[in-house]
Structure 1
Amino acid sequence: MTVKLHRTAYSHARRLVEQGKVVRDERDDWSEHAPSAEEQNRYVEKHGFHDYGEWFLGVDDEKSDETKGQFSFPFGDFSKVHRCAVISLESRAAQNDHDDIAKAAKSLLELIDKQ
């Protein structure tokens, strides 16, 4: 698995934060706030995989373009960036040596906290 920073998604996340589309929730809230598999499937059906992928900081180019499995490290609920998701993904990315994703998440978190 070759997961790398999904730069398009990172730019999308930054724009959302700059527009104030952020949920400033607590560290451990992501398990309750994360979209369910059903919500993800509905989003894909309505918007397609390209738009779906813009909500994940990780992308694996070795996976099929038409699968949810191509994307990892979610940062929001398809409408807003969640602070708790960014904290969670930064930790997981650092633990799994995805330094570019961890660095991007840290940058997003700093932007959220600065706003």
Structure 2
Amino acid sequence: MAITLNRDALRHAEKLIDAGDVVRDDRDAWSEHQPDADAENRMIERDGWETYASWHLGIDRQESDETKGRFSFPFGDFRKLRRSAILAIESRAAQFDHDEIARAAKRLLAKIDAD
């Protein structure tokens, strides 16, 4: 598995922060608010794979284009970026040596907390 930073998603996350579309929740809240498979499927049907991809900081280009397995490290509920998701990404990415994603999450967190 060769997960790399999804730069388009990073730009999307930065735009959400700039627009104030952020829920400033605590670390443990992500498990309650992370979209489940049904929500993901509805979103893909409604908005397509490109939009789905824009909500994930990780991308595995070895996986097929239109599969959920291609995308990892989700950072929002398809409406707003969630601080709790960024905290989870930073921790999990560092744990699995996805250093570029961990650094991006750290920068996003700093931007969220600065606003």
- TM class by shorter chain equals over 0.9
- What's the counterpart of residue 94 of structure 1? 94
- What's the counterpart of residue 56 of structure 1? 56
- What's the counterpart of residue 33 of structure 1? 33
User: How many residues are aligned here?
Assistant: 115
Distance in 2 between residues matched to 1:54 and 1:93, nearest whole Å: 18
Displacement of 1:83 after TM fit?
0.3
Distance in 2 between residues matched to 1:96 and 1:49, nearest whole Å: 25
Q: Which runs of 5+ in 1 are unaligned?
A: none
In structure 1, the residue corresponding to 2:64 is in which secondary structure? Answer: coil
In structure 2, the residue corresponding to 1:57 is in which secondary structure? Answer: strand
Q: TM-score, with normalisation over the residues of structure 1?
A: 0.99
Displacement of 1:109 after TM fit?
0.2
Displacement of 1:92 after TM fit?
0.2
Identity rate, percent: 56
- What's the counterpart of residue 84 of structure 1? 84
Displacement of 1:36 after TM fit?
1.1
Distance in 2 between residues matched to 1:19 and 1:105, nearest whole Å: 18
Distance in 2 between residues matched to 1:81 and 1:48, nearest whole Å: 19
- What's the counterpart of residue 17 of structure 2? 17
Letter in 1 for 2:74: P
RMSD: 0.4
